[in-house]
């Protein structure tokens, strides 16, 4: 791995564990096995490196979510697959946790990839709900944007509750509850219109 890559990966890990203030240039250099000269040769400073790290984390979150959301199956199957996919629940979301970092939120440039990722996720989920409605899989009574916001809030809130309790049980309960609320809105297969 190149020095810039090691620096970005070290920063990503430290931001997830410690937040922006707790991620010192010295800690980044130690974790990356890079000297101060190397760091400042490739990046103008901590903020520049943090931005590269936040962008990388956001890109990876979108790519991993798209594996499930863009897969085969009904809208409900894809949404439930996203909700039930394997996660390190007790560590929390590497993007969602950045929303609780006052230094990230106060900096428009650092906050932008976080906002863009959460907006993308809500938009992607809303499009899946709309697709399910067009195919006759989901009730037309559902408001796609509201369902998308609820899915994101359940996941992000589930992380917070799990971390607070030291158990994945609250996250799992939130997911089960949301899926139970969606189930009555599934349309009977015999009433589906072929081809949407």
Residue 9 in any domain: the answer is no
Residue 63 in any domain: the answer is yes
Residue 73 in any domain: the answer is yes
pLDDT tens for the chain, residues 1 to 196: 899 999 999 999 998 888 888 899 999 999 999 888 888 888 988 899 999 999 999 999 999 999 999 999 999 999 999 999 999 999 989 898 888 889 999 999 999 999 999 999 999 999 999 999 999 999 999 999 999 999 999 999 999 999 999 999 999 999 999 999 999 999 864 234 444 4
Tell me the C-alpha distance between 150 and 47, whole Å. 32
**In the prediction, which pLDDT does 111 show?**
93
Give me the CATH number covering residue 182.
1.10.357.10
Both tokens assigned to 181: 């609320």
pTM beyond 0.85, yes or no: yes
**In the prediction, which pLDDT does 194 show?**
41
Q: Range of 140's domain? A: 56-191
Residue 12 in any domain: the answer is no
Residue 42 in any domain: the answer is no
Residue 101 in any domain: the answer is yes
Residue 36 in any domain: the answer is no
**In the prediction, which pLDDT does 196 show?**
40
Tell me the C-alpha distance between 86 and 175, whole Å. 12
**In the prediction, which pLDDT does 39 show?**
87
- Domain tally, the chain: 1
């Amino acid at each position: 791995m190149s020095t810039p890559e090691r620096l970005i990966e070290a920063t990503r890990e430290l931001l997830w564990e410690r937040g922006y203030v707790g991620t010192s240039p010295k800690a980044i250099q130690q974790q990356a096995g890079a000297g101060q000269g190397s760091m400042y040769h490739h990046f103008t400073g901590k903020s520049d490196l943090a931005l590269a790290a936040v962008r990388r984390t956001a890109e990876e979150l979108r790519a991993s979510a798209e594996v499930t959301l863009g897969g085969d199956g009904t809208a409900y199957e894809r949404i439930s697959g996203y909700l039930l996919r394997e996660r390190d629940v007790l560590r929390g979301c590497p993007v969602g946790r950045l929303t609780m970092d006052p230094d990230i939120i106060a900096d428009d440039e650092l906050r932008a990839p976080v906002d863009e990722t959460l907006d993308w996720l809500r938009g992607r989920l809303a499009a899946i709900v709309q697709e399910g409605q067009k195919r006759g899989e989901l009730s037309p009574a559902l408001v796609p944007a509201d369902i998308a916001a609820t899915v994101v809030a359940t996941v992000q809130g589930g992380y917070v509750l799990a971390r607070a309790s030291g158990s994945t049980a609250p996250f799992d309960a939130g997911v089960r509850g949301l899926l139970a609320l969606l189930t009555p809105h599934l349309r009977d297969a015999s009433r589906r219109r072929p081809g949407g």
